[in-house]
Amino acid sequence: MGAAVGTESSGGRKSVNLELNIVPFIDVMSCLAAFLLITAVWVNIAEINIQPKGKNRDLTQVQQDDEHVTLSVLVQADRIWVGLSRVNEFQEIPKKGDQQDWEKFETTLKEHKASAFFADRSDIEVAGESTTQSPVTYQDVIHAMDVAVKVGFIDVGLTDPAGLAARPQM
Amino acid sequence: MPVTPAGPRLYHSIRFKQLVKHTGSSASSRASNVSMNLVPFVDMMTILVTFLLMVFAAEGQLLQAQKGLELPIAESRDTLQQAPVIIVTKTEITYQGQLVATTDSVLKDDSPTFKIDALYERLDAAAKKIKEDVGLGKMPKELAKACEDAKQNIRPQPGKICPDGLAILQADEATDVRLINKIVNTAKAAGFDNLLFAVKNK
pLDDT at B134: 83
Rounded alpha-carbon distances, angstroms, from residue A49 to B58, B117, B160: 20, 24, 12
B97 Rama class: left (phi>0) / alpha (psi -120 to 50) / beta: left
In this prediction the pTM is 0.73
pLDDT at B37: 80
Residue B16 CB: number of other CB atoms within 10 A? 11
Structural domain includes residue B10: no
Fold for the domain defined by A50-163: Nucleotidyltransferase; domain 5 (3.30.420)
Is the CB of residue B161 less than 8 Å from the CB of residue B189? no
For the ranges A15-24, B13-22, B89-98, B136-145, the maximum mean pLDDT occurs at B89-98
List pLDDT tens digits, range A99-157.
899 999 999 999 999 988 888 888 899 999 988 888 999 999 999 999 999 999 988 99
Characterize B79-106 residue by residue with b for buried, 16 or more Cβ atoms within 10 angstroms of its Cβ, and e for exposed: bbbebbbbbbbeebbbbeeeebbebeeb
Residue B103 and residue B90: Cα distance in Å, rounded?
A: 7
Contacts of B48 in chain A (CB under 8 A): 33
Residue B54 CB: number of other CB atoms within 10 A? 10
Residue A160 and residue A72: Cα distance in Å, rounded?
A: 11
Structural domain includes residue B83: yes
User: What is the band of A62 on the pLDDT scale with cuts at 50, 70, 90?
Assistant: very low
Compute the nearest-CA separation of A37 from chain B (Å).
Answer: 7
Structural domain includes residue B25: no
Compute the nearest-CA separation of A144 from chain B (Å).
Answer: 10
Higher-confidence position of B175 and B20: B175
Structural domain includes residue B118: yes
Domain count, chain B: 1
Name the segment(s) of chain A with CATH classification 3.30.420. 50-163
Interface residue ranges in chain A relative to chain B, Cβ cutoff 8 Å: 22, 25-26, 29-30, 32-33, 36-37, 40-41, 43-52, 56-58, 75, 127-130, 135-143, 145-146, 149-150, 158, 160-161
B196 touches chain A (CB under 8 A): yes
Structural domain includes residue B128: yes
Cα torsion for B111, B116, B122, B123, to the nearest 10°?
-110
Structural domain includes residue B152: yes
List pLDDT tens digits, range A68-94.
788 999 999 999 999 988 777 889 999
Residue ranges making up the domain that contains B83:
64-201
Structural domain includes residue B139: yes
Structural domain includes residue B52: no
Pairing of strands B73-74, B98-102: unpaired
CB contact under 8 A, A139 and B72: yes
